[in-house]
Amino acid sequence: MMEPRRASTAPAILAIAAIAATALGWFAVERMARLAEGLADSAGSPHAWHLIAWQALILAMLCLVGLSLVLARRRDEALAGEAGLRAVLDAASNSVALIDGGCRVVLVNARVEELFGYHRDELLGQSIEVLLPDVLGILGSPAAADGTPVLRRDLGPLRGVETRGRRKDGGTFPVEFSVGVVRKGGAAGAACILHDISGRLREEARLRDAYRALRFANDRLRGVVEGTGDMIAALDRDRRFIVLNDAYRRTFERLFGRRVEPGMRLDDALGHRPEELTRLRSRWDRALRGERFHEVAEYPDPDGATAHLELAFSPIRDDSGALIGAGQVIRDITDRVESHEALRRNAVELAAVAASRATAYSALQDAYEELKRAESRLVQAEKLSALGQLIAGVAHEINNPLAFVGNDLAILQRDVVGLVRLIRLYREVTPELARTHPEVAAEVAELADEMDLDYALEHLGGLTGRARDGLERIRRIVRDLRDFARMDEGEMDEADLKAGLASTVNIVAGLARDRDVAVATELGDLPPVSCAPGKIHQVVLNLLINAVDASPRGSTVTLRTRPDGPDGVAVEVIDRGEGIAEAHRGRIFDPFFTTKPVGQGTGLGLSISYGIVQDHGGRIEVESAPGKGSRFTVHLPVKPPARRRAASKAMVSDGK
């Protein structure tokens, strides 16, 4: 709050004072003039005295007016100075109180009002102990019998004295005050600058607690830094070491031959090793630019060995994020690197051993698989050989009675024609026989009615013809059996697959009828194929038998042949069965794998078929979906590869 500004001296007051002074001077001049006239009468010169009196009056008036103006000017300047002082005090950031020699408040600024809760008018003329109850012992001393305090004569400037302040509501708070003393003549005064230090004391307490915590953390950090086996160091922005542990010192001295201490610059520590200094400084500079990275470096030990060190650099920032330095953690990984190198060498050796063992195992596995295939082929060949011998024997045995039955039937057919003619001739003389031999005629008539002679004579030729057709059909079946009996023949030869496949269909026709499955053939014209016909017939027979077994009753199995490009043929066996499950599709050609019930399949048919087709340089493709049936397609080249033919001939020459 500002004091009301005092008005300067008005000009009217100065004029009145000048008139009063003039009148007083005029009166004094007149009295002197009268006195001078009395003297002049005696001396004889009155006008000279009047002139002197007027001049003195004018001079006195001028002096009086000038003095009045000077005093008024000084008063105005004093008032302006006081107003300026008030303005400065009110603008000050601290609380300021001016006291006189009796330690009474003569002036306060607005900060005092805010701090203590008083209006300045309530403080003017009050003792300073109203604000600072403990300060009189410092500022004043009793000078009168009544104990009224006055400023101490030996009081000088005071700085940062801590005491307590008292607010208007009676509350106290810590205050720091400074005092400046002004003495002029016998009077004295002082300016007290007051500062509330409650916040500072709280901050100092907080800082003391933080410092204790920091000391504790620093001690713990030092224990961790010194207790770890890693090497730890930190540099400031000037590349000066600020943190070092004993492990780093020892390693630095061992590698570079110089001991480093906190406060030493990196350039000074490695001044004798310029190449190492350049390399280390480039790494530290990356971290001092804010980069975090790690790398592995090799350093030669004085004893000639190589030390492998893992270097980790990271920037150090303050709470505001400003970069203030960089830290480094070094770990000796020589043992780990050597262990890894030994493990790598062992791994290479083990890999070589494993590769050789894998090669040997693969060769053994291939040999085992080939042995299994050979065994399966041998078993099937033995079975087919036995079956072929059996069929050949049966066919031979059937051929003997079939030959004479056929011959006898041909003679019977010839004789039946004559007998029919003879009977017809006998029937023409029946009336004569009835007249001459009625008993014989009656017996002949009865026998003719009993055997329906007319029907027999009419159909006897047809019966003998159908019998000959049946014998011819039996002959074809025996021929097909003999052809099938030669399936174990392995010599390559050009063959017409169409005719051989037709006989194969005849072989499986009986099984198809029992299963109520029709076998349809779509045998297109094929070029002659160089193959082992018996083995190819065996493949198709196995596929047809599997297709019939997989087909439901009333369905159809289709055997189809077609050219397969300019140099091959294709044989397809298609059924409408349940199809092959995805889990089984990759194993259907494995030896002894079967999905048929126990006792109904050996699991060798498809495996043997696969081997036979491969031996001919061909391939078998399978298309199947559950519930939609299967399609097996055998692709055979017209001319198998030379290697395949040579292998087949070798097998034949070896008796296989």
Instruction: Give the whole-number percent of the chain exceeding pLDDT 90.
Output: 4
| pLDDT at res. 593 | 62
| pLDDT at res. 3 | 41
Any idea which residue has 């630095």 for tokens? Answer: 252
Instruction: Give the whole-number percent of the chain exceeding pLDDT 70.
Output: 70
* pLDDT higher at 581 or 223: 581
pLDDT of 381 > 80? The answer is no
- Whole-angstrom CA distances from 299 to 232, 254, 304, 341, 413 are 17, 11, 10, 17, 116
pLDDT of 547 > 80? The answer is yes
Q: What average pLDDT does this structure show over 360-373?
A: 80
| pLDDT at res. 63 | 72
* pLDDT higher at 69 or 340: 340
**Calpha distance 148→142 (Å, rounded):** 5
| pLDDT at res. 5 | 42
CB atoms within 10 A of CB 381: 19
Q: What average pLDDT does this structure show over 246-252?
A: 85
Q: Which residues pair with 244 in a beta bridge?
A: 233
Q: Own/partner pairs for 243-252, CB < 8 Å, 24+ apart?
A: 243/327, 248/330, 251/330, 251/332
**Calpha distance 531→501 (Å, rounded):** 14
The model's confidence at residue 573, banded by pLDDT at 50, 70 and 90, is very high
pLDDT of 438 > 70? The answer is yes
pLDDT of 212 > 90? The answer is no
| pLDDT at res. 137 | 77
Q: What average pLDDT does this structure show over 299-325?
A: 83
pLDDT of 484 > 60? The answer is no
pLDDT of 317 > 80? The answer is yes
Q: What average pLDDT does this structure show over 550-563?
A: 90
User: What digits encode the pLDDT tens for the residues 595-625?
Assistant: 665 445 555 667 777 878 888 889 888 888 8
| pLDDT at res. 449 | 78
CB atoms within 10 A of CB 473: 10
β strands within 552-609, DSSP E: 556-563, 568-575
Any idea which residue has 């001396």 for tokens? Answer: 43
User: What digits encode the pLDDT tens for the residues 119-129?
Assistant: 888 888 888 88
Q: Is the pTM for the entire model greater than 0.75?
A: no
pLDDT of 91 > 70? The answer is no
Mean pLDDT, the chain, whole residue set: 76
User: What digits encode the pLDDT tens for the residues 503-523?
Assistant: 788 878 888 888 899 999 888
Per-residue HEC secondary structure of 181-236 comes to EEEECCEEEEEEEEEECHHHHHHHHHHHHHHHHHHHHHHHHHHHHHHCCCEEEEEE
| pLDDT at res. 592 | 60
* pLDDT higher at 636 or 216: 636
The model's confidence at residue 634, banded by pLDDT at 50, 70 and 90, is very high
| pLDDT at res. 7 | 46
**Calpha distance 190→584 (Å, rounded):** 112
Q: What average pLDDT does this structure show over 249-278?
A: 86
Q: How many residues in the chain?
A: 656
| pLDDT at res. 32 | 61
The model's confidence at residue 487, banded by pLDDT at 50, 70 and 90, is very low
Q: Which of 616, 624, 625, 627 is nearest to 651 (CA)?
A: 616
* pLDDT higher at 77 or 440: 440
